[in-house]
Amino acid sequence: MAKDPPVVLYVCIHNAGRSQMAAAFTRVLSQGQVEVHSAGSLPASELNPTVVQAMSEIGIDLSQEHPKPIADEVLREADVVITMGCGDTCPIYPGKRYEDWDLADPAGQPIDTVRAIRDQVRQRVESLLTQLALPNVRRP
């Protein structure tokens, strides 16, 4: 990546579930080697409480996080932009890597379903961090 550290932006419509989980996993697993942001095109008023619970079960506290709108300056700064399978459209800037992760929406889902989504998000983040070739990525 062009920057050190690389900047990753996770985008979802409400920024209340998948993108928040992905950002949290990126922060924890990269051990500070990635600058990470998450945002939504129509941010919710709060995080999905079942997502907060599912992440808490594995020792990641999202209770102080809140949904944020997409800021153009963050989008311009990002090296990698990941949308979360929710049909969000982002402005396309040259020289950035864009991916869409087709993941189920945890909104309104029971905890067992949210746990499965959480685990899928973690696997995708681990794969992304491997692709970024970071030297000290925390492994499960």
Task: Name the band, by pLDDT with cuts 50, 70 and 90, for residue 134.
Answer: confident
In a domain, 140, yes or no: no
* CA 99 from centre of chain: 12
Percent of the chain with pLDDT over 90: 68
What would the two tokens of residue 74 be?
A: 């963050």
In a domain, 69, yes or no: yes
Q: What is the pLDDT of residues 76-90, one digit of tens each?
A: 899 999 988 665 566
For the chain, give the mean pLDDT. 89
In a domain, 134, yes or no: no
Yes or no: say if 109 and 117 are a contact pair by the CB < 8 Å rule.
yes
Q: What angle do CA 78, 63, 12 make, to 5 degrees?
A: 35
Domain enclosing residue 13, as ranges: 7-128
From the number of C-beta atoms within 10 Å of its C-beta (0-12, 13-18, 19+), residue 28 rates as middle
In a domain, 50, yes or no: yes
* CA 33 from centre of chain: 15
In a domain, 100, yes or no: yes
CATH of the domain at 84: 3.40.50.2300
Residue 52's contacts (CB-CB under 8 Å, 6 or more residues apart) are: 62, 63
In a domain, 2, yes or no: no
Q: What is the pLDDT of residues 41-73, one digit of tens each?
A: 889 999 999 999 999 999 999 999 999 998 889
**Tokens 């995708």, residue located:** 124
In a domain, 14, yes or no: yes
pLDDT at 91 over 70: no
